[in-house]
Chain A
Amino acid sequence: MTAPTHDHTQPQPLADASMLEDKVPESLKLSRVVAGLTALLSVLFFAVSTFWRLWHTDLWGHLAYGRIIAGAKSIPATEPLMPLCVGVPFIDTAWLTQVTSYAMFERYGFTSLGFLYAASVTAMSALLVYRGYQRSQSVGLTLCGWLLWMWGCWTQLSIVRPQLAGMLCFATLLVLVTSRHPRLWHWFAVPLLFVVWANCHGSFLVGLVLLATLAVGRAVDLAVRCGEFRAIRRDSQVRRFVLLLELAAAAVLINPYGLRLYAEVLTIANHPNMAELGEWQPLSLRMPQGQAVAAIGLLLVVLYRLSPRRVTAAEVMLLFGFGSAALWSSRMIVWWVPLATYFAMLHASAVWHAWVSPLEQRDPSSSRGLWTVVTLGAAFVGFGLTPFGGRFLHGNEGSWKLQTLVSRQTPLAIVKQLNEMYEQKKLPRGLMFNTYEWGDYLLWAGSPELQQKVFVASHVHLVPREVWQDYIAISNVSSGWEDLLDRYGINLIVLDESTHDILIRRLRENENWRANYSDNVGAVFVRRKPI
């Protein structure tokens, strides 16, 4: 057989690439916009995972609870960590998050914490961007809405804790209930979401409030429009929201505590110890998140003034209801901001398309297999470059160290020092007075004996009222603070510089105490004559 011959002297015409057939199934083809937004979210995922430091408070306490639950394969009935809370009933509203985080930590090491953190923030962003773009058909408006959300929730997003799972559930619910075309699977998805939510975080109540408000809001709209009760009774949307609310409320009961969980969540929210924490206090303009809320609120006023879109009773009730809650307690801001930004995107889109650029039909041909590949590639690169990606793909952390991924206020060196004291049997007997924000890390990383000395940690609703008041009094160097240390038999004090600088100064001047260790983060004091 003779091989075909080619004439290499003549230039060959290029193959016509347009003749190549895009064999990606239509359902998997993505648009350039999706690829672009995915790339952006991948950058966000990479940035959060790599550069946002793990906050030094709640995270470690939740991991410690997860460790206990995983070890015992059951949830303790009474508070298992803080020695001053022995016997206090322990209703763990976040057990699933704690166990999951701990299991990830056990399996993949400390980089998995950054992954969980970044995954939560990115998933929330993706849901908001998805719904925002679907409704506005504008990348610019969608990104503006997303940036507003980031700004409003920034403070809360910086703390890694089960609340992030609650926020993600809330965003998911928002996407489901704002769908233009309710699907059959929503009937299963919403209850299932609440089962997960109720076991991950106590904030499931805000989800129920959201559903209830949507039902009532729709009923009010109908009452105003039709003026008769029958219209409300027979309205499909009202029935849908009422049924979803009922199913969700019933789904919540699938948790280790059943109906008691409702009682516990309501009790925690009203616990007097909480009122003394900054994030539970009323929102004010002095707070960065208060300034963000004010700006978003003003923007909403302008948009509602200009928008040709009809305003529903539900959105008014949601904005005012959740807004009032945020004013009452700044921690509630995380539920108001997604709603506010969502409605802002809706009305901004209406304004934009009414006044500037009429809404155009999307060109179906803009979805191509190429963008699917780009989307997948962007997602993979965003994942692969992260510390966890390296751990997952290569089996080790590489050059990543714990200290590069945790906040600078994390008492790494102090706990190392205390653990050395434990090994040298130099830990004084009795309790240790500690900054409550560090209690969690001490419970997580401290030696077993050190853990038995922790005064308080961030689960302050479990701390007996008198103990918490004494903690505040000592922290504020109130009169009688030394007597209080005597009363608890404190021989060891661990304090952070940022919130306890006055007490540190007083202890340095006090002849009964000796500075054992100090760095730019905090200090350790030991009583000269132990009680």
Chain B
Amino acid sequence: MKRRVSTSIFLLLQLPVIAALAWSLAVLSPEDQRQVKQLVTRKPAAADVRIERNEALVIAPLYDDPQLVSDEELAAVLKRLAPRFSTKKMRPNQIEHALRTWHVGATFQEPGALSGVQMRDFLINYGEFVKSWEPTTEPLLQDRPNDGVFIRWGREEASASVHHDHLLACLTEAGVPRSEPVFTPGRRDLTFGAILNEALRDFRFDEREVEWSVMAFGLWLAPTKSWRLADGREMSFDLLAERLMRGHCKVGTCGGTHRLYSLMVLLRLDESHGPILSPNVRQAAFDHLAAVRDILTNGQFDDGHWPYNWPIGKEAVDKPDASIPLFRHVIATGHHLEWLAIAPETLHPPRDQIRQAAAWVIQKTLERTDTEIISDYTFYSHVANAMCLWRKTTPAKFWMEWETTHPFVPPAAH
């Protein structure tokens, strides 16, 4: 071998090296390009999914059962649940629940009640948020790279949303379109779609609470079955349904009942806009809810309520746990009535049992004082929503119609 590497050989050998590099770049798949780019630029990639619709899908109620809740009972419940919040230091969690219940179009004759638009603006307009809090309060909406908007969440601060993607799910159910403008502290050119984009980007399959993320993704993405997360993980509604069924039934917020609601939403979407689930997973989801149905059938107290420790079934009735406060039983009963309202009858306990549960939870709601209702608004809002679903209506629609024949009378007039 010649010991010297001549300049011409040196330059000549650059060609195959450059060709190899060019070839390797050219044959990279889009996903590989995304991951390489992410590594090079150090910027988080967005989820790889296309969203076609501007308005989210809606899960229509299935039943109109006046025996379960009469017009008068429903009106009484809704009257208690009117969003009479002080405009100072409004808690995003409460407003999210109120907006989810009443929807954006809601208006009230009662002066102290917030309209749907007011509630929406508090949540997605930083200017309105600052009016309620202080300019020094950490913003609820936070800018993220790639036109994303992150919702500050956690249990530590009252000015934050409590659950991950809860705000997204509530606004989605409340009928906020993707094109709705969103005003963050730094930008005024974003829309509600930016919140959805960020939720898709920062979603972690194994995070503690996925209930709201799953529901929102279902309502926005169906009939898309699968997509790719920012970290490259392949995601599908099959996986999400299995995730909702994973572990002990008691696991999850509100005694595990939100998981049931989200699972039922997926089944309904699968039926109406699907298929988004594979046959095996669809069957597994159905079986899971049928097992819950059996638990509820056997685990109901004589007065009609389902206990907060409902997953243990009859044992919870035979050995009542006196340490569980009443409001937790309201949570369990109200939430079960909510998912049952959108479930097919094959997944129902006998209708009499459902009516009994409804009667109990209506009674408990009407027994509360206004202060107690506001304090525990998040729980009772599910009661109001459930009752409307069982009458095949929405709170706003029913209440606004009701007020045409039963106008608001100021307390002083009594």
Interface residues of A (CB under 8 A from B): 78, 84, 86-89, 182-184, 234, 236, 239-240, 242-243, 246-247, 249-250, 253, 257-260, 262-263, 266-267, 464-467, 470, 483, 486-489, 531
Whole-angstrom distance between the Cβ of A125 and the nearest chain B Cβ: 29
Q: A184-B1, A465-B204, A486-B251 known; A89 and B233 CB under 8 Å?
A: yes
Which of B20, B32, B204 meets A260, CB within 8 Å?
Answer: B32
Interface contact A467-B206, CB-CB below 8 Å = yes
24 pairs, A vs B, C-beta closer than 8 Å: A78-B234, A84-B206, A87-B233, A87-B239, A184-B1, A236-B3, A236-B4, A242-B10, A243-B10, A247-B16, A250-B17, A250-B21, A253-B23, A253-B24, A257-B32, A263-B35, A263-B39, A466-B204, A466-B206, A466-B208, A467-B206, A483-B251, A486-B247, A488-B246
Does B175 touch A at the CB level, under 8 Å? Answer: no
B16 touches A250 (CB 8 A): yes
Residues of A within 8 A of B158 (CB): none
**Once the chains bind, are B35 and A260 in contact (CB under 8 Å)?**
yes
- For B5, what are the chain A residues with a Cβ–Cβ distance below 8 Å? 236, 239-240, 243
Q: Of B20, B21, B28, B231, which is in contact with the most chain A CB atoms at under 10 Å from its CB?
A: B20
Q: Whole-angstrom distance from the CB of B210 to the nearest CB of chain A?
A: 11
Known contacts A259-B25, A259-B32, A260-B32; A489/B246 CB under 8 A: yes
Q: In the docked arrangement, what's the CA distance between A262 and B40, Å?
A: 11
Asked if B246 contacts A258 (CB within 8 A), the reply is: no
Is the pair B32, A249 in contact by a Cβ cutoff of 8 Å? no
User: Is B409 close to A, CB under 8 A?
Assistant: no
Which residue of B4, B17, B232, B247 contacts A89 across the interface (Cβ within 8 Å)?
B232
B13 at the interface (CB under 8 A from A): yes
| Interface flag for B72 (CB, 8 Å) | no
A-facing mask of B190-228, CB < 8 A → 1, else 0? 000000000000001111100000000000000000000
Interface string of B228-253 (1 = CB under 8 A from A): 00011111100100000011101100
* B36 adjacent to chain A (CB < 8 Å): yes
Cβ contacts under 8 Å, B3 to chain A: 182, 236
What is the bound-complex CA distance between A467 and B246, given in angstroms? 13
Shortest beta-carbon distance from B365 to chain A in Å: 31
- Is B27 positioned at the interface, with any CB of A under 8 Å from its CB? yes
What residues of A have a CB within 8 angstroms of the CB of B7 in the complex? 234
Chain B hits for A489, CB < 8 A = 246-248
With A184-B1, A531-B247 as contacts: A239 and B10 at CB distance below 8 Å: yes
Write out the residue numbers on chain A whose beta carbons fall within 8 Å of the beta carbon of B23: 253
In this complex, what residue of B is CB-closest to A246?
B17
Q: Which residues of B contact A467 (CB under 8 A)?
A: 206
Q: How far is the CA of A243 from the CA of B247 in the complex (A)?
A: 56
Give min CB distance, B313 to chain A, whole Å. Answer: 11
Give chain A residues whose Cβ lies under 8 Å from the Cβ of B239.
Answer: 86-87
**Contact A258–B28 (Cβ < 8 Å):** yes
Chain B residue with Cβ nearest A186: B1
B13 vs chain A, min Cβ distance (A): 6
- Chain A positions within 8 Å of B280 at CB level: none
Q: Which of A234, A240, A246 contacts B14 (CB 8 A)?
A: A246
Contact at B24–A487, with CB atoms within 8 Å? no
**Contact call B206/A464, Cβ cutoff below 8 A:** yes
Q: What residue of chain A has the Cβ atom nearest to residue B234's Cβ? A: A87
Residues of chain A contacted by B207 (CB below 8 angstroms): 466
Query: In the complex, are the beta carbons of B246 and A87 less than 8 A apart?
Result: no
A239 to chain B, nearest CB (A): 4
Q: B residues within 8 A CB of A243?
A: 5, 10, 13
Closest B residue, CB atoms, query A84: B206
* Smallest beta-carbon distance A251→chain B, Å: 8
Q: CA–CA, A250 to B23, complex, Å? A: 10
What's the Cα separation between A489 and B25 when bound, in Å?
44
Q: Which residues of A sit under 8 angstroms from B4, Cβ to Cβ?
A: 236
Check B251–A487 contact: CB distance below 8 A.
yes
A259 & B233 in contact (Cβ 8 Å cutoff): no
Q: CA A470 – CA B246 in complex, angstroms?
A: 15
Shortest distance from the beta carbon of B3 to any chain A beta carbon, whole Å: 6
Closest chain-A Cβ to B263's Cβ sits at a distance in Å of 15
Residues of B within 8 A of A266 (CB): 39
Closest to B232 in A: A89
Distance (Å) between the CB of A429 and the closest chain B CB? 12
> What 8 pairs across the A-B complex have the smallest Cβ distances?
A466-B206, A87-B234, A250-B20, A184-B1, A486-B248, A239-B5, A89-B232, A259-B24
Contacts of A464 in B (CB 8 A): 204-206, 233
Q: Report yes or no: A259 in contact with B36, Cβ–Cβ below 8 A.
A: yes
Chain B residues near A89: list those with CB within 8 A.
31, 35, 231-234
Residue of B nearest to A242 (CB): B10
Give B405 Cβ to nearest chain A Cβ, in Å.
Answer: 49
Chain B residues whose C-beta falls within 8 Å of the C-beta of A250 in the assembled complex: 16-17, 20-21
CA distance A32 to B16 in the complex (A): 45
The answer to whether B13 touches A247 (Cβ under 8 A) is yes
A488 to B4, CA, bound (A): 65
CB distance B32 to A247 under 8 Å? Answer: no
CB distance from B21 to the nearest CB of A (A): 7
Chain A residue contacts of B21, Cβ below 8 A: 250, 253, 259
Query: By the criterion CB–CB under 8 Å, are B206 and A246 in contact?
Result: no
Residue on B nearest A488 in the bound complex, by CB: B247
Most central of A78, A242, A253, A465 by chain B CB within 10 Å: A253
By a CB distance below 8 angstroms, the chain A residues around B250 are: 486
Cβ–Cβ < 8 Å partners of B32 in chain A: 257-260, 263
Question: CA of A486 to CA of B248 in the docked complex: distance in angstroms?
Answer: 5
**Residues on the A chain within 8 Å of B27, using CB:** 258
A480, B37: Cα distance in complex, Å: 39
* Cα–Cα distance between A267 and B40 once the two chains are bound (Å): 11
Chain B residues contacting A184 (CB-CB under 8 Å) are 1
Interfacial chain B residues near A78, Cβ < 8 Å: 233-234
* Chain B residues closer than 8 Å to A470, beta-carbon distance: 206
Known: A89-B31, A263-B32, A464-B233. 15 other contacts (CB 8 A): A86-B239, A89-B234, A236-B3, A242-B10, A243-B5, A246-B13, A247-B16, A247-B17, A250-B20, A259-B28, A267-B39, A466-B204, A466-B206, A470-B206, A483-B251
